[in-house]
Structure 1
Amino acid sequence: MNNSIKFLKLTLVLVASFTITSCVQDDDYTVPTSLGDEENLALESLLTNATEVSFDYAKALYNSDPNDDGDNSDAIPFAVENAIYVKGYVSSSDQTGNFYKELYIQNSAENPTSAMKIVLDQTDNYNQFNKGREVYINLTGLFIGEERTGSGIITLGGGTEFDQYGGTVTSLNFNQIAQKVLRSGITEEIVPLVVSFSEINDTHVGMFVQIDDVEFADDLNGLRYFDPIEVYDTSRTLQVCNGFNYDEFILETSSFADFKEYLLPTGNGSIKAVVSKTYDASSYILALNSVDDVSMDGPRCTLASTIFEERFDDAVDGTDLDTTGWTNYAEAGGELWTEQVYNSNGYAEFTAYGTGNSSNIGWLITPGIDLDTYATETLAFQTEHAYPDAGHDALEVLISTDWDGTTAGVTSATWTVLEFTSSLEADFESWYTFTNSGNIDLSSYSGTGYIAFRYTGSDTSNLNTTMHVDNVAVFGE
């Protein structure tokens, strides 16, 4: 949503270049049935004389950090001079007032892979650019950049402005809208892209998505979408049960939304919304087109019972890890797993860097875990990395039910590799960002189980990625 200072909605002025007749679609809102001769001719000319490019190609034309110094104040929106255009489908709607002077478009009505934002100096855009409308954006003479420097939301604008924070794009005026944002006669059903909270990233900004098995946070019962003490937007926490804890996300509602006084649903179900960001771009949010896209009538989810949990909260920075019940064993080389603390958070670390060893194999093994109490048991943990070595998977996670609990018996026990999402796999180039392993099913194992984190590397072969492990838990249902 656009969180800039918002004025009262203006009545949309329809000019002669958009000779519009209309009909009622689904008894909901009016959409044009005739695009008008001028718009049709403009679209025909665009398709004949310009070249279609992908969303990703167009977005890549803008460089938010041209000096590659982490400072966006030198950002300059890209001025398009070539005869190119993009084709997309409108994913947002301002009919309910939850979007303001903006459109989001995605590159496909179903299974989109990219999306963009367009800022427009007009309101009630749903009458002209209804959700699902196929649109062709003539990029010639427009600017590609950000509406707010550093937001990461690539936006199409009609002009530019500059301040101490860098260059940004400004809204298309009415004439630019008429000349550059051209509709076809096609309106497609926008099929929501089903994602989980943890999967949402910059790629999804502007897409119409669906989250399943979701509910509003427990402490929001009896509250409404909008908090009357707020001025512009209200954030409400959504949650999804993830074993022993919740995955959380924010739904943001504008003070102009016509559903702002509706009570939040208290059940569990699904929500369909557009992915956006907070005003300061610090986090992703969801923004509703309509409360009709919220279906939460089912029973609320229940967290699983925790069988085992270790957060390394008692870690002593820079010491060999000696957490009670855990086994810390060096199979090759002299390096052991260590305890580290950063910003008051403790975690386990292993790296081959600086050891001087040609081979480092370090085991970190949990205490015994009872796998017979519940019908199903699930393992989850987090990993992060630094100094990654391309093609080197430094960390394996394994399970054994026949280990005798001694260091002498580690290599002779039967260990089975468990598949998990590693931080190296999730984002190889992103350092020091904890990644959830995903829920790992242990229901096929019985008796007493041991989970091992095994690091393999070499200092002399430059295979010395740093790996961190934290928040290890097994839960049962």
Structure 2
Amino acid sequence: MKTKFLKSILFMALAAGTLTSCVNDDDYNIPALECTETSITATKTVEEIYNQATSVATLYQAADENADDYIEAVVVSSDKGGNFYKTIYLNNIVADENGELRAGNIGFSIQVNQTDLFTDYGVGRKVYIKLDGLYTQIRSNTLQIGALFGSNVGQIPAELYANHIFRACTVIEESKLVNVITDLSQINDSYIGRLIRFEGVQFTDGSLNQTYYNAANVDAGGQTLTYITNSEEETYTLPFRTGSFADYAGTPVATGNGSITGILTKFNTTYQFVSRYATDINLDGERIGELPVEVGDPFFTEDFQAAENNTNFNFDGWYNIAESGVWLWREKVFQENGYAEFSPFGSGSALNEVWMITPAINLDDYSSVSFTFESAQHHLDVDADGNKLEIFIISNFNGTDIVSATKVNVTDQATLPTSATAWYEFVNSGVIDLSGFSGQVHIGFKVTGSGTDTTLDGAFQIDNLTVSGVN
């Protein structure tokens, strides 16, 4: 299986039944366990612990060495659906105007070296956390609590977690835990670690025609990223993360519009959304805009796994041409993942315009043809014409003269990384329709950048090109 890497962060086995939009009706309520109320009371608030935590993992020590400190919180995540692993997300607890308990506005996580945590700590369960002996840390603007692992907060050992996390008998209903968001542009760090229901959303065109977990489309963590949007233009998108053990892993990505519930997380600078189980996905409404073109069956693919690291790109049948400047596309390998990259940094050329062009592709054998690819960037400071990636369909090309060839720019059909995208995070292009073309064509990837202007020296990377046709 090919592994892609992701500096910012799952086999289609585990089908979760058939689903077109709203996926199964399994019962994810808190298990009915006998409960004896604890006598523990909170001595600290989550807000106090958040405010005193730093980016350095720090052992918590109570001011009174003869007394332990506790915080109270409510569980908002669940590992029952298989998409969370050895991590519990919790929120602080507040009382509303009617005195009823609800989740507050501070989300945090606890890592525990134990599975099936939902049996004791189900969604809505109030818990008390004994802080003494644990470490606190702020990472990606999120409070993390746990044991020390290296220099960061890690998992509490299985034999110790019951000495730090105590169940209360109080269970808060989910309606008092969830935060409803209807505009993806509203997302900010205050929602990290909290239970969110996005309404009026759907998956991007490029996320369709695959299952939620797609073994052929995974990141360095072994999980599949699809993307949520709330408009036909896909102005705002949010990565949706699915692992191979999710109960809906083998289900086709829903095409409709509706709501998706889950936990908002953040890796480095990139927000990511993680649903808990199949019933969190409810997309049975009419899709905004038309469905993307039917993809068909792949007939030309390139995963770049034959790349030889740090050499000029030289794949059989492909073309590597500098229209301006002298540097060329390079073959790269990172964490056993091959890809192609062009970086103008250090080239010394004020203008670099460099093409990577596929072998000729015959479109006439199919009634419709489309293609997808993945791209990433690093050190892209601005989104400008002076530093960009463009996609062209090329004909009348003799293999050397790219200037005189017929070129049609189809970049506007593709989803590409921007300066706001985390470095090295591969983004799926979405489906690019070639139904308006015929005969022999080439696909051209052109990067423009500068080797003398440091604001225009960002690099672009290409991976996993797939051309598909419908007979």
TM-score, normalised to structure 1, is 0.52
CA distance in 2 between counterparts of 1:11 and 1:402 reads 72
Paired residue type of 1:378: S
| Cα distance change on mapping 1:294 and 1:385 into 2, 3 Å | closer
- 1:177–1:415 distance in 2 versus 1, CA, 3 Å: same
Q: Please tell me whether the aligned partners of residues 356 and 445 of structure 2 are also in contact (alpha carbons under 8 angstroms).
A: yes
Distance 1:436 1:207 in 2: 25
User: SS of 1:250's equivalent?
Assistant: coil
**Alpha-carbon separation, structure 2, partners of 1:329 and 1:174:** 61
Give the whole-Å Cα distance in 2 for the aligned partners of 1:13 and 1:338.
Answer: 64
- Following superposition, the deviation at residue 330 of structure 1 comes to 1.4
- Asked if 1 retains the 8 angstrom alpha-carbon contact of 2:381 and 2:419, the reply is no
Find the aligned partners of 1:307 and 1:167 in 2 and give their Cα distance: 47
Q: Is 2:402 the counterpart of 1:439?
A: no
- What's the C-alpha RMSD, in Å, of the aligned pairs? 6.3
Long gaps (5+) in structure 2: 1-30, 64-70, 94-103, 183-188, 216-221, 227-240, 266-271, 284-293
Query: Contact (CA 8 Å) 1:146, 1:155: kept in 2 or not?
Result: no
CA deviation after TM superposition for structure 1 residue 328, in Å:
1.9
- 1:12 counterpart residue number: 35
| 1:142–1:156 CA contact under 8 A, matched in 2 | no
Q: 3-state SS of the aligned residue for 2:401?
A: helix
8 Å contact 1:101–1:123 — kept in the other structure?
Answer: no
Measure the CA separation in 2 of the matches of 1:267 and 1:122: 23
Calculate percent identity across the aligned residue pairs: 19
Q: 1 CA distance for matches of 2:336 and 2:149?
A: 37
The 3 A distance-change label for structure 1 pair 427 and 406 is same
1:322 is aligned with what amino acid? Answer: N
Partner of 1:227: none
1:158-197 to 2 correspondences below 5 Å: 187-188=175-176, 190=178
Further displaced range: 311-320 or 442-451: 311-320
Query: What is residue 446 of structure 2 aligned with on the other side?
Result: 454
Cα distance change, pair 356–377 in 1 and its aligned pair in 2 (3 A): same
- Tell me which residue corresponds to 1:104: 90
Match of 2:465 among 457, 469, 472: 472
Aligned 8 A contact 2:358 2:444 in 1: yes
- How far apart are residue 12 of structure 1 and its match? 2.0
Instruction: Structure 1 unaligned segments of length 5 or more: list them.
Output: 1-7, 19-38, 67-74, 195-200, 220-235, 241-246, 254-263, 278-283, 297-301
Aligned residue identity for 2:58? I
1:386-406 Cα offsets, whole Å, 9 max, x none, are 443444573422223544334
Larger Rg: 1
User: 1: distance between equivalents of 2:425 and 2:81?
Assistant: 38
**DSSP 3-state at the match of 2:54:** coil
1:408 corresponding residue in structure 2: 401
Q: Distance in 2 between matches of 1:341 and 1:122?
A: 40
| Contact kept in structure 2, 1:310 and 1:471, CA below 8 Å | yes
Assess if the C-alpha contact under 8 Å between 2:390 and 2:411 holds in 1.
yes
**Stretch deviating more after TM superposition (98-107 or 320-329):** 98-107
CA–CA distance in structure 1, aligned partners of residues 340 and 81 of structure 2: 49
Say which of 77, 91, 112 aligns to 2:76. Answer: 91
What is the CA–CA distance in structure 1 between the aligned matches of 2:262 and 2:374, rounded to whole Å? 28
Q: Is the 8 A contact 1:94 1:125 kept in 2?
A: no
User: What is the alpha-carbon distance in structure 1 between the residues aligned to residue 79 and residue 251 of structure 2?
Assistant: 26
Pair 272,309 (structure 1): closer, same or farther in 2 beyond 3 Å: same
Q: Does structure 1 retain, via aligned residues, the 8 Å contact 2:242–2:274?
A: no
Structure 1 residues 146 and 192: alpha-carbon distance in aligned structure 2, compared to 1, 3 A threshold: farther
Q: How many residue pairs align between the two structures?
A: 360
> Could you tell me which residue of structure 2 aligns to residue 422 of structure 1?
416
Give the match for residue 58 of structure 2: 76
Deviations 1:313-366 (A, max 9, x none): 444444433323322221112222233444554432322233322221111122
Q: Map of 1:255-404 to 2, 5 A cutoff?
A: 288=276, 304-391=296-383, 394-400=387-393, 402-404=395-397
Out of 436-445 and 369-378, give the one that drifted further.
369-378
Change in Cα spacing, 1:413 to 1:76, as seen in structure 2 (3 Å) is same
Instruction: Answer yes or no: is the 8 Å Cα contact 1:62–1:78 preserved in 2.
Output: no
Measure how far apart 1:472 and its partner are: 1.8
User: In 2, distance between residues paired with 1:275 and 1:413?
Assistant: 48
